[in-house]
Structure 1
Amino acid sequence: MTTSSIDLASLLCSRLCHDLLSPVGALSNGLELLTEEKNPEMRQRCFELLEQSARISADKLKFFRLAFGAAGGFGEFVPTEEPRALIDALVAGNDRIAVNWGLAAEALPKPAVKVLLNLAQIGMDALVRGGTLDIGAELHGGACEIVVRAAGPKIAFDPAIGQALDGSMPTQELSSRTAAAHMIHLLASQSGGGIQYALTPEALVMGAVLPQG
């Protein structure tokens, strides 16, 4: 493992910890409140908050396990129902975002699944005021083609993430916020493909092509 790969792994771990800090912190606070609260109604509310925080924590761990890690079994392909279920679970708690699916394959190569999950995460982060998230993927002409479109009243997209996606960001400038975008850029490049994006005030469209080796 090279120094650069160790640095990237460290940044991805930082991103994972950042995203888990809020729901895990809520679990800790909820348990503390539960030990002090005597009112039955308030105790019931604490249990509901604990259940919600535990579910969010588990959903995020499952998502990052496949998006960053080596989950998905021992085969080269992952059923598309797995990434779909993970994304649907993350969006379930946000009624401001609607997800539309267009998956024309029953299974995708593992690198393509990582790209799809991370592009979807970028799209979700961009919908700060809600909107629609359209996700499509297909195997066509010996390549996997992925498209993610986030559309809403206000799109929040850090230009640094765009630089990490298209490979124009120097590796020494990477941060935990841009590490995932850089990782999927590397995955696409190593397969002979690439990632592109287009941004307007109303929509962010990201596309990836990954030739199948």
Structure 2
Amino acid sequence: MSEHPDLAALIGSRICHDLISPIGAIGNGVELLMMERGAASPEMALIAESVANANARIRFFRVAFGAAGQDARIARGEVVSILADMMRGGRIQVDWLSPPELSRPEVKLAFLLLQCVETALAYGGKVRVERGETGWLIQAEAARMKIDPALWEVLTERHAPPEIAAGQVHFALVPGALAAQGRRLVTELKDNAIRLRF
């Protein structure tokens, strides 16, 4: 275990913690307004959908970018709920198969890799995440994918390249998460499929 705190993860946790309450309050306010008026106007429906999406993203980011102690646990039900809310109405479908209780650091790594896969599924597709007895398997399939080989090479680098963009930071965080858990990632990239094992 590192002697130094993971400041980036602590910042991620702090931001998500501070945003989740006001976003939830906005959602509750929208619900009350919709109940009061009887029927939802298109404008109110759009606000409600946007708030739900923001809430789901914050919950996802809290796991993917937040602090995760080695002994921290997370329930499969919570993971499935986060993914269902985040993918609702989107072009990507995620099936999550795992034991009822999971190691939070492992789920953090799986979420970071899910974001990598999401980057490749620019046109939509299906993803299956499975936690078996020997480890994790993430499989993605799509009619076509947008794979940047240079980005996927980052997954095996110890240090993030200086030109990494904010929208690609999940790629740069994977090697550290793998090292922290003593895991190795096996990547198979094809024109219409991705297979990740760790």
The answer, yes or no, to whether TM exceeds 0.5 is yes
1:139 Cα deviation (Å)?
Answer: 4.1
TM-score (norm 2): 0.72
Distance 2:139 2:61 in 1: 21
Corresponding residue to 2:74 among 71, 78, 81: 78
**So what's the TM-score if we normalise by structure 1?**
0.68
Distance 2:160 2:49 in 1: 39
More off after superposition, 167-176 vs 156-165:
167-176
Query: Percent identity at matched positions?
Result: 22
Q: Of residues 53, 65, 70 in structure 2, which corresponds to 1:68?
A: 65
Pair 159,189 (structure 1): closer, same or farther in 2 beyond 3 Å: same
The equivalent residue for 1:34 is none
Counterparts of 2:181 and 2:75 in 1: how far apart (Å)? 20
RMSD (Å) for aligned C-alpha atoms: 3.4
Give the equivalent residue in structure 2 for 1:129.
Answer: 123
Note the 1:110-121 alignment, pairs <5 A. 110-121=104-115
Q: Evaluate the alpha carbon distance shift between residue 49 and residue 157 of structure 1 in structure 2; reply closer, same or farther with a 3 A threshold.
A: same
Q: In structure 2, give the amino acid aligned to 1:98.
A: Q
Q: CA separation of 1:184/1:170 partners in 2, compared to 1, >3 Å: closer, same or farther?
A: closer
Matches within 5 A, 1:1-213: 9=8, 44-70=41-67, 76-94=72-90, 96-103=91-98, 105-140=99-134, 145-167=135-157, 170-208=160-198
- Which amino acid in 1 is paired with 2:86? L
Deviation at 1:44, TM superposition (A): 1.2
Count of residues in correspondence between the two structures: 174
For residues 33-89 of structure 1, give each alpha carbon's deviation from its aligned partner in whole angstroms, at most 9, with x where no partner exists: xxxxxxx9xx811111111111111110111011111379x9522222222221121
- C-alpha distance in 1 between matches for 2:152 and 2:174: 12
Shift of 1:170: 4.7
Question: Separation in 2 of the partners of 1:194 and 1:109?
Answer: 17
The question of whether the paired residues in 1 share the 8 Å contact of 2:112 and 2:173 is answered with no
Gaps of 5+ in 1: 18-23, 28-39, 209-213
**Structure 1's 97 and 187: CA in aligned 2 closer, same or farther, altered over 3 A?**
closer
* More divergent stretch after superposition (197-206 vs 76-85): 76-85
User: d(CA) in 2 for partners of 1:61 and 1:170?
Assistant: 24
SS in 1 for 2:41: helix
Q: When you count strand as a share of all residues, which structure comes out higher? A: 1
On the 8 A contact 2:73/2:103 being kept in 1, the answer is yes
State the shift of 1:134 in Å. 1.0
- Identify the residue that residue 36 of structure 1 maps to in structure 2: none
Q: Distance in 2 between matches of 1:152 and 1:139?
A: 27
